[in-house]
Structure 1
Amino acid sequence: MLDFTSFSQSALYNSAQFFVIVFSELVLLFVLISMLVSWLQLKIPKARVQALLSGKSGYMLAAGLGAITPFCSCSTLPMMVGLLRAKAAFGPVMTFLFTSPLLNPFLIAMLWVIFGFKLLLIYSVAVLAVAIGSGVILQTLNFQRYVTLPQPANSCCGAAQDSMSPPPGWSFKGLAQHAIKETRSFLPHIALGVAVGAVIHGYVPASLLAGLASSNPWWLIPAAALSGILLYVRASTMLPLAATLVAKGVSLGTVMALTIGGAGASLPEMIILKRIFQWPLMLAFVLVVLGTAILTGCSIQLSLG
């Protein structure tokens, strides 16, 4: 007879542990990345940022910036807010948002070691093509009108002050205080997002996907992509598990679709992102990640089997 009490206690403990660790990690990352963005704003004028991330070359630069920043989907957001406040072009900023969690040095190294260069090449080309193409389309359709940045904070004198503008004559203490203030406005969304991820982490058994995937039906790649979005699965965490699933008979296309869905647009990230994006842009964002996951999964499946 199953001991549901023991399972419930174990699941509760796993969920609580997940929440504490991930919430603490994300808050720390938000503060550190906000400090980095503020420091860069002091060193690089807004006009320079705007010039670099505009035009056709801006998309390639944004993709390159995403590829060298080892951020997860949630911790990408402070950098994205900083770029938008620096008046960077919207399309390249979206390309950065799509690329950063899906194509970074850690992920590239793990893909190469675990699955080989051919899969890495297919994966990289598909992610870059969709990320750049989607950025161009979203800017052409003027989706930037659906962005709502955090409101400027009021100073003690009642005058509006841009909460992302770094204080003049920077110091470490000043940048830290400024970053903490910016992070505080995201705390409710971070807490809710991580709480959802913690419940899924603690109460949804990992064997559920493995059992479903063993038969490899035709609809499994789209289903895996959607399942990844509903979970909180980082690519660096998912790839070792993906190797195990492949060894058990799950197709490469399926595990890569699951990895891209979870890394590119996890449910916790979308809850935090709702602080910035209105529903039309949020829907477009999810559809792009889903499309990337399905396209890449199918390409890998057809090429490598």
Structure 2
Amino acid sequence: MLDLTNLNQNALYSSIQFFVIVFSELLLLFVLISMLVSWLQHKIPKARVKALLSGKSGYMLAAGLGAITPFCSCSTLPMMVGLLRANAAFGPVMTFLFTSPLLNPYLIAMLWVIFGLKLLLIYSVAVLGVAISSGLVLQALNFQRFVTLPAAANSCCGSSSADPATQARKSVSLKALFQQAIKETRSFLPHIALGVAVGAVIHGYVPASLLAGLSSTNPWWLIPAAALSGILLYVRASTMLPLAATLVAKGASLGSVMALTIGGAGASLPEMIILKRLFQWPLMIAFVVVVLGTAIITGFSIQLLLGQALV
């Protein structure tokens, strides 16, 4: 007979362990990334950032920046806030936000090793195409008006009228950068805690067998359903890919597994809770639609180009 008491205890232990590890990891990432962004802001003039991430070339640069930053979807937020405060164009910043959790060196290497070069190319082209196109559309529709930036922490360089040499000395102070990063992170703290708590409950109490239940009959609706299911999970792409290989070996379709991976990595429920600190509802809805579109388009592209028929 199934011992429900032990199962509940194991689920509780797993949830608590997940919360402690992920919450600590995210706090550390938020602080370190905020320090890096603050340092860059003091070293690179805002006008230079604005010039780099503006115009058509800015989208490619933003996509490249997202592709080389090994951030998860939650830890991209300090970088995004820093870019917006530096007056970077909104469209390229959104392209960075869409690209960073879905294309990074670790993920690219894992995709190549596990699934091969052809799938990696299809995946990369689809993700980049949708991310850049979405950034262009959101910029054209002026969705920047739906962003609410948190109050800026006091600059570690002091007032703008301070002596330039003094500013330069203070800008390299690790203590000042750390204090500024702590103030920045504190404004996100309740949203981070709530988001990770939701992820912890899902991790502990949603059985892994639900993922393995992807059907090998491969109906056409499976890819959209997998993409939508990913949003309800807290699955990082780098964590999901080894599991994806197992699911594919057991008969799940490549398209549905990749759609699930993109949905979970690009717009998980915990991430959206944190994003609500910055985005008003119209932009939140647009964000989810873009990630779902990326997951569905990539899933169908992989499915059709790699010769797995839909029924």
Q: In structure 1, list runs of 5 or more residues that go unmatched.
A: 162-166
Q: What corresponds to 1:61 in structure 2?
A: 61
Aligned pair count reads: 297
User: Aligned letter for 1:95?
Assistant: T
Q: For 2:193 and 2:283, locate their aligned partners in 1 and report how far apart those are by CA, in whole Å.
A: 22
Q: For 2:192 and 2:241, locate their aligned partners in 1 and report how far apart those are by CA, in whole Å.
A: 24
Matches within 5 A, 1:8-157: 8-152=8-152
Q: What corresponds to 2:163 in structure 1?
A: none
Q: What corresponds to 2:213 in structure 1?
A: 211
Root-mean-square deviation (CA, aligned residues, Å) is 1.6
Q: What corresponds to 2:222 in structure 1?
A: 220
Q: For 2:112 and 2:98, locate their aligned partners in 1 and report how far apart those are by CA, in whole Å.
A: 21
Tell me the CA shift for residue 131 of structure 1. Answer: 0.2
Tell me the CA shift for residue 42 of structure 1. Answer: 1.1
Q: What corresponds to 2:304 in structure 1?
A: 302
Tell me the CA shift for residue 210 of structure 1. Answer: 1.2
> Is contact 2:202–2:233 with CA below 8 Å preserved after alignment?
yes
Q: What corresponds to 1:232 in structure 2?
A: 234
Q: What corresponds to 1:292 in structure 2?
A: 294
Q: In structure 2, list runs of 5 or more residues that go unmatched.
A: 161-165
Deviations 1:70-121 (A, max 9, x none): 0000000000000000000000000000000001100000000000000000
What SS is found at the alignment partner of 2:96?
helix
> Which runs of 4 or more aligned residues in structure 1 lie more than 6 Å from their structure 2 counterparts after TM superposition?
none
User: Aligned letter for 1:126?
Assistant: A
> Is contact 2:67–2:99 with CA below 8 Å preserved after alignment?
yes
Tell me the CA shift for residue 213 of structure 1. Answer: 2.7
Q: For 1:182 and 1:44, locate their aligned partners in 2 and report how far apart those are by CA, in whole Å.
A: 19
Tell me the CA shift for residue 2 of structure 1. Answer: 1.3
Deviations 1:44-87 (A, max 9, x none): 10000000000000000000000000000000000000000000
Deviations 1:177-232 (A, max 9, x none): 10011001100000000000000000001111212434432211111101111110
Matches within 5 A, 1:254-273: 254-273=256-275
State the TM-score, normalizing by the size of structure 1: 0.95
State the TM-score, normalizing by the size of structure 2: 0.93
Sequence identity of aligned pairs in percent?
86
Matches within 5 A, 1:234-249: 234-249=236-251
What SS is found at the alignment partner of 1:175?
helix
Q: For 2:219 and 2:199, locate their aligned partners in 1 and report how far apart those are by CA, in whole Å.
A: 27
